[in-house]
């Protein structure tokens, strides 16, 4: 049942991500062009990371890795990394959306943090 819920959450996440405009902006601000911002973006040296993207991909990664932890850790990890890259590159094709490196870095950082934690937990289980 939880895995079905993950698939549903993932589908909603993908729809929100590739919709031309911001559905959440329309709901919160009444404007498809305005994006809600949870926190300020992260800035390190020459790289900027989108905090919204980091939190969103960390959430979906945590949820997916929690559910598929025992059987398909590698497969779900590959899926999460692939989707974080592909979804951002789709913004090159979607009207009203734009590809941004800070968003791509945020996507990847969100996935990387949770995947590292999962692999460390799995490694510690063996000892």
Give residue-wise pLDDT tens across range 25-36: 888 888 887 888
Instruction: Give pLDDT tens digits for 70-88.
Output: 777 788 889 999 999 999 9
Q: Please give the Cα distance from 78 to 126 (Å, whole number).
A: 22
Q: Indicate the SS3 state at residue 35.
A: coil
User: Look-up: residue for tokens 């951002």?
Assistant: 88
Q: Please give the Cα distance from 111 to 70 (Å, whole number).
A: 18
pLDDT of amino acid 126: 62
Q: Indicate the SS3 state at residue 30.
A: coil
Q: Is the pLDDT of residue 127 over 60?
A: no
* Most confident among 9-13, 28-32, 48-52, 95-99 (mean pLDDT): 9-13
Reported confidence tier of residue 68, pLDDT bands at 50, 70, 90: confident
| pTM for this entry | 0.86
């Amino acid at each position: 049942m939880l895995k079905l819920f993950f698939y549903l959450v993932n589908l909603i996440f993908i729809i929100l991500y590739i919709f031309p405009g911001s559905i959440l902006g329309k709901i919160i601000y009444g404007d498809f062009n305005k994006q809600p911002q949870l926190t300020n973006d992260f800035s390190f040296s020459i790289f900027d990371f989108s905090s919204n993207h980091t939190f969103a991909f960390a959430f979906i990664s945590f949820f997916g890795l929690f559910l598929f932890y025992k059987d398909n850790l590698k497969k779900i990890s590959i899926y999460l990394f692939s989707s974080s890259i592909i979804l951002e590159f789709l913004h090159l094709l979607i009207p009203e959306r734009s590809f941004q490196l800070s968003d791509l870095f945020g996507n990847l950082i969100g996935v990387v943090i949770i995947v590292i934690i999962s692999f460390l937990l799995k490694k510690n289980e063996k000892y």
